[in-house]
Structure formats: C-alpha cells, structure tokens
Structure 1
Amino acid sequence: MNTAPPESVAGMHFDVVIVGSGFGSSFFLHRLLLRKPGQRVLVLEWGGHATHDWQLEHERNSPVADDSTYVTRSEKEWNFTIGFGGGTNCWFAQTPRLHPGDFRLRSVHGVAEDWPIGYDDLEPYWCDAEEIMAVSGDPDMAQVMPRSRPFPQPPHRMSGPDRLMKQARPVSHFVMPTARARIATDTRAACCASLRCQICPADAKFTANNSLVPLYEAEGVTLCLGAEVRRFEAAGSSVQAAIFADQEGREHRVTGDLFVLGANAIHSPAILLRSDLGGGMTGLGLHESYGWSVEAYLDGVDNFDGSTITTGLDLGLYDGPHRATEGAALVYFENRWSHGLRLGAERMRQTLPLVVVTEDLPEDRNRVTLDGEARAFVEYHGPSDYAVRGMKRALAALPDLLSPLPVQRIIDRGIRGTESHLQGTLRMGSDPAHSVVDADLLHHRLRNLVVVGTSTFPTCSAANPSLTAAALSLRAADRLI
C-alpha cells in the first residue's frame, strides 16, 4: 500500500481528504477511483495495519482497545475496530438489506423520521456493494426485498431446522445473506463454518485486508496510519483543513478541496464537536438494534449441519401495523454452540440457538459529547421503550413462529450486551432542524464535507447495517461526482 508517515504529509494539499478506512470511507474511495481516477487522495487512519495473520496470532482485530478511545459512565458495550479497514475486520459479514418499510416509519406508522431516500434509490447500490463483497444469498428474498440483479454467490447450506421453517414459511424464512464466501474467490477461501467470524481463520469473509488493498495501492492515493484526526478548520460553508495527531501526540495540518468523514458514530461527532462545528443534532441519538438470546430444545431434529455460522433469517415478526408502537423484529437461526452442549449424546445436536433483534429509535438522551479533556464522552441511558416493547412482543410470539419445529422447550438466555452496530449521531434528512447531513450525505452547512458510515442512519433497522453503509457511500460518491 502507498503508506506515508504523518510528518511527511503535513502541510500538503489534497483533492480529497478521507478520515478513516472502514466501510463508509473505503466504499466511497472505491467509487471515487472508478468515476474520477487520478485524484490526489489522503486517507487518515487512527490505527495501524493489523494483517490477517497478526489478528489470528494475537486473537484480536487491533492493538487498540476500542473502549480505550472514549469515556463513559455507562456499562453498555460499543464494539468497533480502530485500524486499517475499520469494521471490516470485526464484523461477522451478515449482509441483509433494509426492509422497504424501514424507510417510511413516520409516514406509515407515525414513528421517528422518514429517510430522505427510499428502497428504490438504494437498490442498485446494494447490488454494487454485494458484487464488490461477493455476497452469498437466497434468491427467494426478492419476494420481500426486490432486487434487479441476482446475488453474486449461491446461498449457504441451510440447517435441518431452517429447511423445515422454509418449507412451512417460504415467504418469511430465508438463508442468511452473507459476505462469507460460499464459493472461494481469487482472494478468499470458502467459509469453513468454524464459528469464529470475528477473526475468520479461513479468511473467507470480506475484509479490507483481503479485498480492498488495491484501492490503497492506486496512483494518487496515500494512506497515513497512526493519524488521529482531532478536528477540522472551517470558514463559511466549507472545511479548509484537517488537524491530526501522530502517535507521539504531535499535531499536523493538511488542506483539501473535499473532506470525507468516515470515523464511527462515536468519533465522527466528536471530531465535529472539537471543531466547534456541532450544534443542532450533532452527536445526538447514539443507538443500535436491541438483541436477546434464546435457545430452543428440539425433539428428533438435529441442528448444526449448515455451512456457515448463521444459517437462517426469519422476517415473520418484522413488518406490520405493530410498528406504530413496537419495533420490528428479526430472528436469526444460529449454527454454533452459543450456550454449551445439551446433555445426552443423542440430544447434543437437537438444540437451536436463536438471536432476536428489534429495531431501536434514536433518542436525544443517548448522545456523544466531549469531556473536560476534549475526549469523546458517551452518555447512554438505555434502549427506547419502542425497542423493549418490540422485544416483548417478539419473545411472546416466538412459540407460534417456531411451530413448524418439534420444540420441547424454549429457554430465555437473556439480553445481549451489544449488536456491534453503533449508529445515528449524524443523521441524514431533508430538514436541517432534524438532521445533520442531506440525502446525499453532504453536511447541511459545510458543503464540501461528506459524512459516511452508520452514523448517518436516521432510524435503526433490525437488519445488520454494514451493507447499507457501503451502498450509501457508493451512492454519495456518484451523486457528488
């Protein structure tokens, strides 16, 4: 890769300055290089480059502990990776699209805010992102989430319980779409179902390390590692410079024509707040989907014969009039021993771990501010009542949802600490009074600042957000260029 130490780029001017190298930033860069090659681009990455081999050896994604990069009094976990590739390292590569109903909560159900774009606006960009990541998926999902192109790879093998569910509920139960290769690619092996997706031992899941390095080898692109962007300098309606610190704490300055802010939903608003570019909705509404673990004991049906870690995705509790008061729910069918072995040799495989996830609503009380030392401070009080009611409804409906299976017992395994999908602090919208960026991810006031990543999500789908973050970046680059 074209790397340079912080001091070597200090004082230089670039056509584009990008903050971060995760999904939002890298997919924006991908489309920028395709549409407008030859640009002088500087990518400023706070962390270093942890190779796949390094991650396997050290059993972690980065030398930087994520919870060391912000301050909080809450016990809530927020999982992310500081380092080259950002969340492409630690994600489990689940890639469902958002449901068409996710974009119109206000107009249909009177809840939260509508997205300023719709499903059809993102559909071709989801296809592009799926092709870049060689996503494996179930073509039957088009019944709920229409698509203009087929999935790049065939679906993973379902488990025994999944096959029974799909036979009984063909319009709501599907193979989980995933960027874990079903068929080996030029740079990725096929998924080995070893159940260790945070650091895939087979290197089957899509990451920056195995799929995006050529972007950072392109002519005109410079990657600066160990460069923590602290703040921007702005005048009028534009950003003029980025101020970043090296690993010794020395500050450096670069100027640019276009700036792309692609840190996460904690650190992106912190950068704007340090820059005196806050106000309005900046930093407000930090949230993620709300998760619960459940296990079903089965009678005579074996599980754990699927070809990847999460085999099925059930939308039977997702959309409908209940969303006026209760969050939509997704049910994930697991192909891993999440809660230990069931006793009895003949019963060991007759168990079904499930994860139930409901959408949350962003609330202003959950926010990112700065402490007295200008560090990112997370103030989190808990999920919305909407999410909690949605979970209560979903858990009560679970026996009926699972009725195609011979369920002996359903065991409540409790709330999950995190879904690892922090979002919502720089929300997109058409009204600057209720959002920070517009439909094209341009800052309402700073018109040469593009904000990418899940911080721009105005509401919280129960679906994993990474594919949508990638698609939004591709679209933003197209619209800008």
Structure 2
Amino acid sequence: MMVSPPVPAISGADFDVVIVGSGVAGALIGARLAEAGARVVLVEAGPRTDRAEAVEGFRGGAYPYPSTDWAPQPSRPGYIVQGGPVNWTGSYVRRVGGSTWHWLGNCPRLLPSDFEMKTRFGVGVDWPISYDDLEAWYGIAEQELGVAGDDEAETGSPRSSPYPMPPIPLSSGDLLFTEAAAAMGLRLAPIPQARNSVDGYQGRPICCGNATCYPICPIQAKYDATIHVDLAERAGARVIENAVVFRVDVNRAGKVTGIRYRTPDRDAHTITGRIYVIAANGVETPKLLLISRSEATPNGVANTSDLVGRNLSDHLTAITNAISPRPYRGTRGPLQLAGFDEMREGDFRAERAAFAGQINHSVGNPLALARQLIRQGLAGPELFQRIGDTAPYQVGLAALLEQLPDPANRIVPDETQTDALGIPLPNIIYAIDDYTRAGKTAADALNARLLDAIGAIDRVASDDMV
C-alpha cells in the first residue's frame, strides 16, 4: 500500500469537506467524496503505521506481566475514566485507519426485528427506520469492506445482493460441533467477515490463517480502513496525522464554522470547510461535541436533545472454555469462522437478551494454561509435559449479547482530568442490566450443552462479560 509523506499542520485552509477521524466511517466517506471531485481533508489524531514494523513489534513484544502492587507505578492511569459501577472494557486506537487495525473482522447484519424491539417484544425502543431502509446499503458496505459469506445461510437478514466473496472454509475444529449443534436444532454456519477468501479482492491477498486477526493481520487479508484512506489520497484527499481535534466552532446561528486541533507540540490550528463530518468513533465523537460548548450551544454541539453520549452499548461476550476429546488446534486459521444464529431471534427477547453463538479459535494460550497448572501445583518437567499435552485440545465458545438502550450509560468529558494536550479525558458511566445478565445465563447453559455433547471436559465459564 502506498504510504504518503506526512502532511504538515494546516491552519486556515478551506476545503469542501473536513472529516474528523480516518477510521472506517471517515475513510469510506472521504474516499467516496474525493473520487467525486470534492476537496477533502481527513484530520486524524494518531500517526501512520507501517505494517511490517507493527507486525515486528507484536511478535517481538515482551509478555505483559502485571505490575506488582508494591512496585513503583510511574505510568499514569488509563486514558478512559471509569465512572460507573461496571468498567467499560471496549478499546480503540488512534492511528490512520483507526481501530480496524485491531478488529476481528466479523460483519453480521442486524435482524429486521432489531429495529422494532418495542413493538415486537415490549422492550427497548423502535428505530425511526426499518431494516428494509438499510438493506441495500448493507450490500454496498459489504462490497466496500470485502465481506466473505455464505449466500445460502439462513441468518434471518434478507438479502438483495450476494456477498462479494464466498465464505472461508470451516476448520476441523469448527466441524467438531456440527452434529452436536444439529441435535439441538442449531445450524453451524460461516460468520460473514471482511477477510479475503479469494486472492486479489481490493488488491489484498487471500487469508492464510495467521491467527492474529487481532491485534494485527500481518498480510492485510483482513480489511482495514487504510484501504479507503489510500483510495481517498489517490483521488486527491489530504490527511493530517497527529492532529487531535478539541473543538467544533459554531456561530450564533448554530452553523459550524471550523474545526480546531492540536499537534504534539500543543500548537492549535483551525481548519474550515463547507461540510463537516465528525467520525471520531463512539467515544471520541460525543466527547468532542460535548466539550464544544458555546453561547450558541450551551449543552454541546448537536445536543438539544441531551442524547449525545447517552445509550452507550456494547456486544458483551460470555466465554466458556473446555478441553476437547480430539485435537482442536484453534490457532490454525482466523480467530473465528463459524457460529449459531438461532439464539438471536425469538419471543424470549421480551425477557432476556438475544445472543450470537460463535466458536473461538483464540484459545490454546500456553501461558494462560501454564498459570492455571502452576496454581494446581505442577512444576518442572511435569508442567512442561502437561502444557504440551493439553494446549492443542483447548476449545472455546463465545456468546455475543445484546444490550438495551439505557440513557444512563453514557460518555461525558471528565471535569478534572485531561490528556497531555490539555483536552478532557472521556468519562464512561456504564452498567449492565438484568436483561443482559439473563441472556448470559442462557448463553452459558447453551455453551455447556454444546461442549458436553462433543465430550469436552474441564469446562469453565467466565464470571464476567467482556
């Protein structure tokens, strides 16, 4: 991929479109508009990343042993302030291409019923649009990201266009669950994912099973937003990196008049355009709008509803791990390939959360296994032998749970803490309701039945959702 030289800070320049953020949303918009002839600039808080250097850093990194409580702690607390009863465990990165550098790549669609939760199940809220309103746009998004999927799979989400690529073949570990799932009325199906199953789509290679989809795909078989950043630059767009936006300027009429950002030397710059797009992710976008208070926008930009930053949700994950009766070797291939969609839909949604079942290939961690065995008293040659005998048999199931909208789950600018540039940190107030917890109970029970059905032993379900 072409890597352009860094663009110096720009002050006062006027563009047709100013986009804050170069992740998947900002990059897609930037590429489409630049190709249509618009003068586009993407303002990115982080640096460019050289893939080869990032892969080398990942492979050569030291294992992150936790710090001891009595040792000096020179590093500051985390960037995100945890202000609620439950810590929000999501994450994101600041760099050109955004968090798609580290995402898994799964691309399931919502179901039609997801847009009508209040009408159908008496919980949550109905959307002002329907699945049908978005369906064609889903197809366009799948083309842009390069999604591999099974056109014949019964996912519950009607389609008017085929996937760009056929599904990635399932692994032998996935196929362990075929009969057990069928006996429970479940169908094992490929998960749609933005990962090449054929060589050359968007100039990317076919997936070769490195099993490091996160933190990084070393060959870019998995989509990341640098694909569209590159397309935008080829069409004439500019990218300003290491530029942290801290204010949206609005005049008395309520019209945006400029974007202010700081560079690492703390110098402030203003950039203007005819159209502004804030695509800084689900945490930074509301924080930016809320810190941009003015006489015209006393509650923050675009916040007359008082809903900016509210209704934060996540796809919380319940995980169950066990030891398979046959070698599983989960690290051969992408980190997830197949799952079960039947538990995403049903009248039970009036009482508890739906979930998508998935087979995890990210188990088989010898270091985690070693810690577990050491706690059991093993050491020396016996420990070494047990790790070698056990690691290839580790198997895991995951359940991705829905959350209902809750205005109390929100992002606000922290009133007392700032980053190195003097910009308020995001304070996340977050909780998990009984509806979602009831979904985890059902997910744990189904995972246990599936693992028991294949003869797995030493089954352990996570206490928390991640």
- What is the deviation of 1:401? 5.3
Change (3 A) 1:132 1:415: farther
Is 2:326 the partner of 1:326? no
Question: Percent sequence identity over matched residues?
Answer: 26
Change (3 A) 1:329 1:378: same
Equivalent pairs counted in the alignment come to 409
Matches within 5 A, 1:84-233: 84-142=96-154, 144-158=156-170, 159-164=174-179, 172-185=187-200, 187-198=203-214, 199-210=216-227, 212-219=229-236, 221-233=237-249
1:406 to 437, 441, 454: 454
- What is the deviation of 1:90? 0.9
Task: Give the conservation status (yes or no) of the 8 Å contact 1:191–1:205.
Answer: yes
SS at the partner of 1:146? Answer: coil
- What is the deviation of 1:333? 0.6
Matches within 5 A, 1:2-401: 5-7=7-9, 9-34=10-35, 37-59=36-58, 69-73=79-83, 75-142=87-154, 144-158=156-170, 159-164=174-179, 172-185=187-200, 187-198=203-214, 199-210=216-227, 212-219=229-236, 221-235=237-251, 236-276=253-293, 277=297, 278=300, 279=303, 280-299=306-325, 302=328, 304=330, 307-338=333-364, 340=366, 349-370=392-413, 371-372=415-416, 373=418, 375-400=424-449
Task: Give the conservation status (yes or no) of the 8 Å contact 1:140–1:174.
Answer: no
In 2, Cα distance between equivalents of 1:139 and 1:281: 38
Change (3 A) 1:171 1:409: closer
- What is the deviation of 1:347? 7.1
Task: Give the conservation status (yes or no) of the 8 Å contact 2:213–2:334.
Answer: no
- What is the deviation of 1:345? 7.6
In 1, Cα distance between equivalents of 2:43 and 2:338: 38
Change (3 A) 1:224 1:146: same
In 2, Cα distance between equivalents of 1:181 and 1:218: 24
SS at the partner of 2:114? Answer: helix
In 2, Cα distance between equivalents of 1:164 and 1:192: 27
- What is the deviation of 1:272? 0.8
Task: Give the conservation status (yes or no) of the 8 Å contact 2:180–2:454.
Answer: no
Q: Which amino acid aligns with 2:82?
A: T
- What is the deviation of 1:212? 4.2
Task: Give the conservation status (yes or no) of the 8 Å contact 1:160–1:301.
Answer: no
- What is the deviation of 1:47? 0.5
Task: Give the conservation status (yes or no) of the 8 Å contact 1:269–1:368.
Answer: yes
Change (3 A) 1:168 1:188: farther
| Deviates further, 142-151 or 227-236 | 142-151
Task: Give the conservation status (yes or no) of the 8 Å contact 2:121–2:350.
Answer: yes
1:323-344 deviation digits (Å, cap 9, x = unpaired):
1121111111123434557959
Task: Give the conservation status (yes or no) of the 8 Å contact 1:181–1:191.
Answer: yes
TM-score by length of structure 1 reads 0.77
Stretches of structure 1 lacking an aligned partner (at least 5 in a row): 419-481
How big is the alpha-carbon RMSD for the aligned residues of Structure 1 and Structure 2? 3.0
Change (3 A) 1:399 1:56: closer
SS at the partner of 2:119? Answer: helix
In 2, Cα distance between equivalents of 1:30 and 1:241: 21
SS at the partner of 2:232? Answer: helix
Stretches of structure 2 lacking an aligned partner (at least 5 in a row): 60-74, 374-385
Task: Give the conservation status (yes or no) of the 8 Å contact 2:444–2:461.
Answer: no
In 2, Cα distance between equivalents of 1:292 and 1:86: 26
**Structure with bigger gyration radius:** 2
In 2, Cα distance between equivalents of 1:132 and 1:215: 13
- What is the deviation of 1:249? 1.0
SS at the partner of 1:126? Answer: helix
- What is the deviation of 1:196? 0.8
In 2, Cα distance between equivalents of 1:338 and 1:357: 20
In 2, Cα distance between equivalents of 1:162 and 1:397: 13
- What is the deviation of 1:304? 4.0
- What is the deviation of 1:366? 2.5
- What is the deviation of 1:301? 7.7
TM-score by length of structure 2 reads 0.79
Change (3 A) 1:21 1:305: closer
Task: Give the conservation status (yes or no) of the 8 Å contact 2:181–2:450.
Answer: no
